[in-house]
Structure 1
């Protein structure tokens, strides 16, 4: 029976050992298929391709190859952000956990593939013996003697109906899914680090704006107080000027608390204590402003570029293989068993032909009656395959939604930022003119108050818009599956045990 046809590319960024291991397993599968001659259960025909739109709905989408998203965060042009992402990839606990899951999946594949080969075990013993025999007149004791024994036993279950082959297919696809999950954790991590970093820079900018504005508003308060003391002002204007400056100053503690929360989160993402990166962000810096568009590719590209979609597809392939694994359990199992043993009174006699015994032969196990247990196992596997397909379909639709939302949000936010820039520029001029006229007595204080309040609101909104645009850019990169593409070392465990050989056990702690 032909093997399953799959269109799966090796996961970018992972070591070549996974690819080599997959190839060796595929060779083993081919050899087993040639020996067994058939397999039961459905063959996986490759990734399903539901109806997908031919293009993104947004006119701003760049339909160039979406695979060219390597190190997309470099487009934000912030060296410190690059440094934080590099460290997060190496030290984040969630990434470390995902690496351990890959190691577990690879070990599971190796363990499952061992079922293709015979198992051989050897035993040896040396025993002191004495026997007694009774006769009609007395009990006769024989002289003690030492018996030396050695034997080798082997067994090999023939994969006649492809059950082991299907088990290996399932394990291989599980390994591929775990590698995609690792890539997905990197996509999420890099996006989170970039988003929290942008937010932190945004709060720094809003704190600086509030402090600058409050200084200007305190100057207006002093001017109003001077007019009041000179008799050309009134107490109402003075109270309003004081209240406006205090209201602006009250925003600073709120922004500082939000800034601290973002810095703490960045520390955790980097595997550090909450204040682990506080010193790195002590100095303010501009909000990162990307200018290069991201290549979005086509909707069909998400089948390979989004690791969560790729992982869900591999889980579907795994669930399909498990149907054949359950189906094969309903068929007879044939095993070849053999043993060779030798026993002698002296060690040197163990190799003599007269002391050797052997046995070899097949054994067949046929399911006769199990009250439908095996049939139910097949139905369970089929239902789990349907669940995996539904999960894959849902994940793909969610991926399409994420990209469309990010494209629209980024496009509209850029339009909004343009308008806010124009508004801030005009409010700045209005505030300057109203203040000059107020100083000469040609304008009322209400005009000054309104102009300063509007200017502060417009400039604060402009900062928030820059943050939103940068975060929408990051969201689009995440939605397209952009992430880490460099090789990732997954071979080193988190905990390296020492002295694992035979040793005296210490007191249990």
Structure 2
């Protein structure tokens, strides 16, 4: 039969247009009514922060995407910009996000018409002839029982998970750079004060040696002074080690092998300026990477559950082919033949239906578990922020007390210096007063560093970090 006549015959078998419309409406109904609905998440977030600082603080709200600028340190700002551009962990997360985007763009492609060209060498069963066969195969699987929605949900879940991983990498990077920079500057300040204390201890030791030679001090006093000097020298090891470690860690975060020499030049430690928190607990659902990842896991698991549910039912596709063949035997010529065909392709689960039903039930339980995991992640995020808020408030109080103590001892040291100038106090008394003042200043540096680190921990818990260029600031869960 000629190809055109054969095709007309096939078309005549399809039936009246009304029946085709009825069949299309039925398939559309089957495709939509069986979609598994997404579960309600019901995130357990409180209405306000229990440990929130007073809202009357005279400061502009601190930007969650630029919170480190509250330290007013241009060098820190430049370091974070360099780290966001050059950090290798962030670069890896960006590549994984691009991979997820590429797969997301093709989600549901199996429900588009597929066309395949093929050639093959086919022998007769009696091995008396051989034929060359060429043609096209076409297949169009219909999106029934929510299969397409399930595929899109899985792809979207993977995409959102990759996006949350990138955000987590950026949040962690910004927090680590800020923390290491504060540690570096604090260690440099500690080294300076400990050096002053060590010098005063050496001066005391030398004075006691002189007094011992004059028989004005005993050997026990000299031994104690020598021990204090040795302890002062030993105390310098810790900040110097912290300087090297912080500088090397900063270099790693910036994607370079060696620290910048400028980092080793001592400079004042960044001081936290006025700030005000305007973030609410509900904002965690859009900013904290762990919560975003748990939400993406719910969406992906919902897609898997929907696909397992759809696999319990038949799959229907429209197939067609056009095949042309000719003999490869020169001594046995045959006419070229072209055959076209079109018709439905139906796959009905029979003997493995029970296994498919069990898989569907298992995926439904995994979906419920992912929702519970999401709620647990929200609770953990709220608890971490509340803990960080409380610690930040207490560290601010501790720094204030240390500052008051340093100011009082500094004033006392000034008084002692004037008394020594008037010969009303001896050099040993003046040295002890200076050491006490320096130790108070050292404690103030440590308190200021702890206060700054508590601030870093708070905004890391809040998920504060700049978003990648071109990405939306908020992401909402897919709804059908």
Would you say same fold, with TM above 0.5?
yes
Q: Decide whether the 8 Å contact of 2:60 with 2:276 is kept in 1.
A: no
For residues 26-45 of structure 1, what are the structure 2 equivalents within 5 Å? 34=28, 37-44=31-38
**RMSD, aligned α-carbons:** 3.3
Distance in 2 (CA, whole Å) between partners of 1:175 and 1:59 is 34
Distance in 1 (CA, whole Å) between partners of 2:423 and 2:183 is 42
Q: Secondary structure at the match of 2:264?
A: coil
Shift of residue 372, structure 1, vs aligned partner: 2.4
Shift of residue 58, structure 1, vs aligned partner: 2.1
Shift of residue 409, structure 1, vs aligned partner: 1.4
Match for 2:295 among 281, 304, 313? 313
Shift of residue 390, structure 1, vs aligned partner: 2.4
Alignment deviations for residues 295-344 of structure 1 (CA, whole Å, 9 cap, x no partner): 34211111112122122112112212221110000001112111012245
1:154 corresponding residue in structure 2: 138
Distance in 2 (CA, whole Å) between partners of 1:66 and 1:433 is 43
Q: Decide whether the 8 Å contact of 2:43 with 2:378 is kept in 1.
A: no
Distance in 1 (CA, whole Å) between partners of 2:222 and 2:413 is 18
Shift of residue 112, structure 1, vs aligned partner: 3.3
Match for 1:421 among 384, 387, 403? 403
Match for 1:339 among 312, 321, 327? 321
Match for 2:91 among 83, 91, 96? 96
Alignment deviations for residues 141-190 of structure 1 (CA, whole Å, 9 cap, x no partner): xxx9x976431111111122121321122211221221122111101111
2:68 pairs with 1:73: yes
2:56 pairs with 1:56: no
Q: Decide whether the 8 Å contact of 2:191 with 2:240 is kept in 1.
A: yes
Alignment deviations for residues 471-497 of structure 1 (CA, whole Å, 9 cap, x no partner): 1111111122110224179xxxxxxxx
Match for 1:322 among 273, 281, 304? 304
2:104 pairs with 1:109: yes
For residues 443-454 of structure 1, what are the structure 2 equivalents within 5 Å? 451-454=433-436
Distance in 2 (CA, whole Å) between partners of 1:66 and 1:116 is 49
Shift of residue 396, structure 1, vs aligned partner: 1.0
C-alpha distance 438-65 of structure 1, shift in aligned 2 (>3 A)? closer
Q: Secondary structure at the match of 1:372?
A: helix
Distance in 2 (CA, whole Å) between partners of 1:322 and 1:467 is 48
Alignment deviations for residues 232-269 of structure 1 (CA, whole Å, 9 cap, x no partner): 44444333333323321221122211221122211222
2:396 pairs with 1:395: no
2:244 pairs with 1:270: no
Distance in 1 (CA, whole Å) between partners of 2:226 and 2:427 is 13
Alignment deviations for residues 334-377 of structure 1 (CA, whole Å, 9 cap, x no partner): 1211101224579xxxxxx9843111111211111227211121
Aligned length: 438
1:499 corresponding residue in structure 2: none
Distance in 1 (CA, whole Å) between partners of 2:81 and 2:423 is 59
C-alpha distance 233-438 of structure 1, shift in aligned 2 (>3 A)? farther
Q: Secondary structure at the match of 2:141?
A: strand
C-alpha distance 419-403 of structure 1, shift in aligned 2 (>3 A)? same
Q: Decide whether the 8 Å contact of 2:117 with 2:135 is kept in 1.
A: yes
Range that drifts further, 107-116 or 209-218: 107-116
Shift of residue 283, structure 1, vs aligned partner: 0.6
Match for 2:188 among 204, 207, 214? 204
Q: Decide whether the 8 Å contact of 1:40 with 1:163 is kept in 2.
A: no
Q: Decide whether the 8 Å contact of 1:98 with 1:185 is kept in 2.
A: yes
C-alpha distance 35-243 of structure 1, shift in aligned 2 (>3 A)? same
Shift of residue 436, structure 1, vs aligned partner: 6.6
Shift of residue 230, structure 1, vs aligned partner: 4.1
C-alpha distance 44-68 of structure 1, shift in aligned 2 (>3 A)? farther
Alignment deviations for residues 119-147 of structure 1 (CA, whole Å, 9 cap, x no partner): 11112469999x998xxxxxxxxxx9x97
Which runs of 5 or more residues in structure 1 are unaligned? Answer: 1-30, 134-143, 347-352, 490-509
> Could you tell me the TM-score, scaled by structure 2's length?
0.81
C-alpha distance 434-51 of structure 1, shift in aligned 2 (>3 A)? same
C-alpha distance 128-392 of structure 1, shift in aligned 2 (>3 A)? closer
2:225 pairs with 1:241: yes
2:391 corresponding residue in structure 1: 409
> Could you tell me the TM-score, scaled by structure 1's length?
0.77
Range that drifts further, 249-258 or 196-205: 249-258
Q: Decide whether the 8 Å contact of 1:66 with 1:301 is kept in 2.
A: no
1:377 corresponding residue in structure 2: 359
1:123 corresponding residue in structure 2: 118
C-alpha distance 169-230 of structure 1, shift in aligned 2 (>3 A)? same
C-alpha distance 213-132 of structure 1, shift in aligned 2 (>3 A)? closer
Q: Decide whether the 8 Å contact of 1:32 with 1:159 is kept in 2.
A: no
Shift of residue 448, structure 1, vs aligned partner: 5.7
Q: Secondary structure at the match of 1:112?
A: coil
C-alpha distance 59-483 of structure 1, shift in aligned 2 (>3 A)? closer
For residues 128-143 of structure 1, what are the structure 2 equivalents within 5 Å? none
Q: Decide whether the 8 Å contact of 2:154 with 2:300 is kept in 1.
A: yes
2:440 corresponding residue in structure 1: 458
Shift of residue 400, structure 1, vs aligned partner: 0.8
C-alpha distance 245-334 of structure 1, shift in aligned 2 (>3 A)? same
